[in-house]
Structure 1
Amino acid sequence: MSLEYSKAKNETPTCKWNNIYLHSSYNPDQEAKRFTETLSPNFIPSNIIIIEPALSYCIPYLREKFSGSKIYAIRLIKDIKNEFKCDGEFLISDIEKIDNLESELFNYFGETELLNSFFITWPPAHNAFAEEDSRIWLMLKKLLKDCQSILATRQFFAERWIKNQINFLTRIEKTASINKTPLPVLICASGASLNASLSYIKKLQQRFFIISCSSSIKALFSNDIIPDLCISTDGGFWAKKHLNCLTKYQNEIKLAVSSESNIPSDLFSQNNITIVPLAYCDNYDSTIYEQLKIPYEKAKRNGTISGTALELAMNISSGNIYLCGIDLETSNGFVHTQPNELETENSIKDNKIFSKDKRTFIQGRDSKQLSLYRNWFINNSDRFGSRVFRVSCKHRFINKLGQIKDINFDDLIKMESDKVKNTADFFKKTVVLKSDKKTILSLIKNLINDDQWIKNYYPADCLMIDRSQDTNVKAEYKKKLDIKLSKLTEYISRQEKQ
């Protein structure tokens, strides 16, 4: 495998890969110009992403033809001599690394920008790298399909999230923010491996700052383990079921939630519960919190609550972080450690035709969501690996989480001191709020006129408007979006009158 540079007939640089020319041996510049002239996407792309391994002669012509687009290259060869620079590069020097490219592209662009990108292959690249090019296109097809699904989900739940925000901001009474701590953090999710770990956690709970993801709260409470912080980030209907158990306990509970989270309304007025508001960097929570003088913690939106919990733990602690019950794999029995609120709900519907065994078998199969969540941990593990560990009671995990090391509790005990925590040091002074409903609703109503806010909550509609080349089609999409925004404004106006 070798890259060989030479001069074309017109004295400009060209090159070959294993004796296959990657650019013309006569006039590479003219070849690139003709190729660019053949490109005719049926939408206005914000990004051009080209699979192009070498000298990039087409980049200036792409910039000329698509003046409003950024140009990116997927490279297939290391250490090339670029004649022209693009806005960013993604290197795939090994065919086995193509799966990593999927997460690199998603993490860099996000679903909206990927769906507004135009992908092309430089024709000689397909001749020289036929297998790699074919596999990349199969990966892109899957990635874009996943992006469509994510975007549809975001749009479907947009109005639910906005209504959750209104409920949150108008009902929140008692809040707190978190002090930085040198203590290690133990994050508990409800994977099947948590069950065997509960006795260890109970014994060691005074030595860790314990964060409980919402689905594990009931299992911890049932074993007399009181987490220092519970976290819930899901805006869906079923998410708040996991929080129902909080109404039955009298212990002091700190609950970290985003304003989009679906929360039982009676929790806000419960004396033993203090809310720790989370503000995502991709929406307007921080703006609203600051105007209302509500203390908050910065958070990163993630497909899985355990990912958001891990990012939060990295911010609040300088110590090691241990993941428990974050299995992200199939199971022959219950997917979640019991007791679990959703299992209690689902078991009511069990019958002879659709039995508990059949239901748990279906739930225990690997899914696209599990794979996506698992890949997020794997692809970000180089950021976390040095101080993040997955801990269990000698559980044999099917899948590794990249550079995140799997350890047992015996290893954990050796790694950490036996210093007992002081819970009072974890949180800043509690702030009691007097929510001004009229002010809050006015703030949200004003945001409805903000273009970036609209793109955040109605991404699919905005994408179709941005992509449309036909002015009549663009106007039709704009009209549909205006109707949705008008209905939302009417809903807020009704809330103002109540």
Structure 2
Amino acid sequence: MDWLVEHAKDGSYTLQLNDIYLYSKYRPKQDVEKFIEKELITQYKQYILFGLGLGYHAEALLNSSPTSTIYIVLADKKELELCKVYGAAHILDDKRICIIDSKVHLTNISLDETQLIIPLQWLKAIGANHPLFVSLENIKIRQMSFRNVAGIMHENFSANLMNSHFFMRRFEEIAKGGKSFLVSAGPSLNQTVKSLKETNDFCFVLAVGSALKTLLKEGIVPDAVIITDPTHFVQEQLENTAYKGLLFYMATANHGMTNIHKGKKAILFQEGYPLSEEFAASNAVPLLETGGSVATTGFSLLEFMGFKTVYLFGQDLGFKNNQTHANLSTSSNMFETNIKFQTVLSNNGDYINTYSNFNVFRRWFEQKATNTSMQIFNTAWDGAKIEGVPYLSADELKKQLADAPIMNYKEILEGIVSSK
């Protein structure tokens, strides 16, 4: 790792790692104090901080939470020397500080009582080859997403509990080993929607909300739709459609959207969200692993319903040109030119662009493929390659479904939601 110590404009030291400034060039300590003030959740008993550097973040944490234990994960052992010579060396003698390196397993730390603090600049500076990058990126993206919508999630949760809906437990193991399509809104859906239309009678079709209008345009009415987005923009996914089928929606999803839908609704509660976990514990309601996206949540739902085969449609998790979503998708389908992309291998052997959050979801599917009994196939030829999830062409899909019985899942669902 390439470290560079410089004088900041205020006379104190600042630090670069791999040509990325870890602190401000002007007022390093003051800016770090503002970051910690904004980031800190005071009810936690201990903190895990990634990166020691010159010790500025640790010093601010000590001042803001004087009774807490702070574990500092080193990005590089050279940080200890840098902190001693140029930084807040006194923190290294504080009994509340525990220095650990990336090889140490945090077995004695209760994560339920611990906040992980990952300064974004550190994540950028260590680079994708650092052994902790993938884990830290996953955590950071979820933290940032949650922080952006925490307030409206709480509002949605309270409002959605007032809806007339069914609980997820009604749908447990209803599939009895059947086959399913999980339809997302990636650009490959433009090409695969034809084969989906030709074969959907044999499978349960669960569509994410942003893919609904694309399917309806082709005359395909999914058996169910799933929506998890807490923002009001998600209302567009149902507006001006005639869809009145079953809607699975997250308890924190936009409550205006749930009011728009005039069909049957089933509410979902996610793992890791305190209000959901509290409600589930009090009402014997199952929780879903969400994975951070509507598609990963949909996958968990299909697993809960008992399906043994899942065919992924529109699950590109990347894009080869400049179109990120299918035609008619309610998600923005053109990339932003000011974003720095990552590249991943696609099913066709080429490298394609992807976003950091797409990569997080891809890794979730890869991990899921190793610990589920479900068979998973991906139909996105130009989409990102998901290890453990083989690509399946339209002809191969037809062969696999050639002997499958025609299933009227709409009728099955109607029977479930009509029973008392």
Q: TM-score, normalised by structure 2?
A: 0.62
Q: Which residue of 2 aligns with 1:387?
A: 375
Q: Which residue of 2 aligns with 1:339?
A: 328
- For 1:119-268, list aligned pairs within 5 A: 138=130, 140=132, 144=136, 147-148=139-140, 150-170=142-162, 172-175=163-166, 177-180=170-173, 181=175, 182-245=177-240, 248-249=241-242, 252-264=244-256, 267-268=258-259
**Conserved? CA contact 1:175–1:276, under 8 Å:** yes
**Conserved? CA contact 1:211–1:231, under 8 Å:** yes
Q: Over residues 305-363 of structure 1, what are the superposed CA-to-partner deviations in whole Å (9 max), with x where a residue is unaligned?
A: 111111221221242111110001124243211112345xx9xxxxxxxxx89989999
Quick one: higher RCO (CA 8 Å, sep 6+), 1 or 2? Answer: 1
Q: Which residue of 2 aligns with 1:280?
A: 270
- For residues 216 and 339 of structure 2, what CA distance do their matches in structure 1 show? 27
Q: Which residue of 2 aligns with 1:305?
A: 294
> How many angstroms does 1:391 deviate by?
1.9
CA RMSD of aligned residues (A): 4.4
- For residues 284 and 404 of structure 1, what CA distance do their matches in structure 2 show? 34
Return closer, same or farther for 1:410/1:156 CA change in 2, 3 Å cut-off: same
Q: Which of residues 378, 400, 403 is equivalent to 2:385?
A: 400
- For residues 365 and 279 of structure 1, what CA distance do their matches in structure 2 show? 33
User: Is 1:74 aligned with 2:103?
Assistant: yes
**Conserved? CA contact 1:174–1:432, under 8 Å:** no
- For 1:358-377, list aligned pairs within 5 A: 366-377=354-365
Q: Over residues 102-128 of structure 1, what are the superposed CA-to-partner deviations in whole Å (9 max), with x where a residue is unaligned?
A: xxxxxx9799644289xxxxxxxxxxx
Higher helix share: 1
- For residues 360 and 72 of structure 1, what CA distance do their matches in structure 2 show? 35
**Conserved? CA contact 1:258–1:277, under 8 Å:** yes
User: Is 1:420 aligned with 2:406?
Assistant: yes
Q: Over residues 362-392 of structure 1, what are the superposed CA-to-partner deviations in whole Å (9 max), with x where a residue is unaligned?
A: 9995322222222332344322586111124
Q: Over residues 459-494 of structure 1, what are the superposed CA-to-partner deviations in whole Å (9 max), with x where a residue is unaligned?
A: xxxxxxxxxxxxxxxxxxxxxxxxxxxxxxxxxxxx
Secondary structure at the residue paired with 1:186? Answer: strand
Q: Which residue of 1 aligns with 2:395?
A: 410
Q: Which runs of 5+ in 1 are unaligned?
A: 1-38, 53-64, 76-85, 90-107, 118-133, 347-355, 434-498
- For residues 134 and 192 of structure 2, what CA distance do their matches in structure 1 show? 37
- For residues 147 and 357 of structure 1, what CA distance do their matches in structure 2 show? 24
- For residues 146 and 298 of structure 1, what CA distance do their matches in structure 2 show? 21
**Conserved? CA contact 1:278–1:298, under 8 Å:** yes
- For residues 113 and 278 of structure 2, what CA distance do their matches in structure 1 show? 24
Residue identity over aligned pairs, in percent, reads 15
> How many angstroms does 1:431 deviate by?
7.3
Return closer, same or farther for 1:264/1:241 CA change in 2, 3 Å cut-off: same
| Letter paired with 1:155 | R
- For residues 224 and 95 of structure 2, what CA distance do their matches in structure 1 show? 50
**Conserved? CA contact 1:215–1:242, under 8 Å:** yes
- For 1:442-481, list aligned pairs within 5 A: none
> How many angstroms does 1:255 deviate by?
0.7
Return closer, same or farther for 1:432/1:412 CA change in 2, 3 Å cut-off: closer
| Letter paired with 1:338 | N
- For the pair shown, which has the larger CA radius of gyration, 1 or 2? 1
